[in-house]
Amino acid sequence: MGSCCSAQASNTYPPSAPNNANASSRAHINQPGSQGMGTRPSTNASTQSAANRPGPQDLTRHPTKNLKIPIWASSPSRTWTRNQIDEERVAFFDTRVSGRPEIWQTIRAALEVLWSGGDANDSDGGIATAQLILTAAGITVPGGNLAGNVYDSFGELYPLPPEIVSDPTDLVEPSAEQQDDVENKSEEGGEELDEESLRLKREDKGKGVLRAEDMMEIQVKLSYEGDKRLKVAISREDSVRLVNRRIFDDSGLAPPKRIKLAYMGRILEESKTLDAQGFNENDVLNGFVLG
């Protein structure tokens, strides 16, 4: 008994070496994550590099400058006739695969205004009208040149070659025979406008008898109304010119304001009906308020 007690008394402190080793192991395993990351300087360096790298440029902050029609000449190896330019423009918009289709349609609508030189009331060749169409769709032209940089509201680029935007200064004139064809078509168009004027007077006086099946209600989104839609009752036989007048009257607008209708990215011809231009009455027309 005495020897047993003596052994216990001499062992005053418990063995510490194994416990210290375990504590050291636990401390190594349970080190804070920040200390562990300190052994990976390459990761920190790459993270800092990414943080310091400038992000993508916000192109939507670039204000649109006043549109300028590019002036250019054909190259010695490539000349353009009227028909070639027209065919090239049709093919260009029919073959776009990048970008948003609705943006391409809006760009085309604006260009069609410029190609035609605008309305008779436009003193700037339709530039203000084209500018309004682009602005309403959130399209920006930072340099003002449509043949330069054109961006949508997300900053995506829509490149346009100069021949798509404007005619060259050295456009090849058509032959005498081709010129006769153009003049004949212009005369036919004049007759159509005369007939339309008579029809407007007849319809305004109430001499035309309209049947219920000939009527339809259209929806128009005016450029100054945001997403608000105006509903207007028209006849299927109404020309776009008369539809414009009905929309104008129902909208409460006053001169010198006027309306230009567009559908599926195209400015509608005023001498034709909506049905003749492929309009679906379930769709919404875009009305650009000008003036």
What does the DSSP assignment read for 16-67? -HHHHHHHHHHHHHT--HHHHHTT-HHHHHHHHHHHHS-----GGGSPPPPP
CA 110, CA 262: separation in Å to the nearest integer? 10
- In 41-74, which positions are buried (b, 16+ CB within 10 angstroms) versus exposed (e)? eeeeeeeeeeeeeeeeeebeeeebeebbbbebeb
Find all residues with CB under 8 Å of 196, minimum gap 6, and list them: 239, 241, 271
Q: What is the pLDDT of residues 114-160, one digit of tens each?
A: 999 888 788 888 999 999 999 999 999 988 999 978 999 999 999 99
> What would the two tokens of residue 141 be?
């032209």
CA-wise closest residue to 109 among 96, 126, 97: 126
Helix (H, G, I), strand (E, B) or coil at 89: helix
Amino acid letter for position 40: R
pTM score: 0.52
State residue 68's pLDDT score. Answer: 87
State residue 168's pLDDT score. Answer: 93
> What would the two tokens of residue 237 be?
């036989």
Residues facing residue 290 across a β-bridge? 258
**What does DSSP assign to residue 273?**
B
State residue 104's pLDDT score. Answer: 94
> What would the two tokens of residue 274 be?
């909506």
Task: Spell out the per-residue pLDDT of the chain, length 291, in tens.
Answer: 444 444 444 444 445 445 554 444 444 444 544 444 444 444 454 445 444 544 444 544 556 778 988 899 998 888 899 989 998 998 898 888 889 999 999 999 999 999 998 887 888 889 999 999 999 999 999 889 999 789 999 999 999 999 999 999 999 876 554 555 445 544 444 444 454 555 555 555 555 556 777 899 999 998 877 778 999 999 999 999 999 999 999 998 888 788 889 898 788 888 889 999 999 999 999 888 886
Beta strand extents in the chain (DSSP E only) = 215-222, 229-235, 258-263, 266-267, 284-290
Helix (H, G, I), strand (E, B) or coil at 115: helix
Sheet holding 266-267, edge to edge: 229-235, 215-222, 284-290, 258-263, 266-267
Residues facing residue 231 across a β-bridge? 219
State residue 280's pLDDT score. Answer: 94
Residues facing residue 233 across a β-bridge? 217
> What would the two tokens of residue 77 be?
């190896």
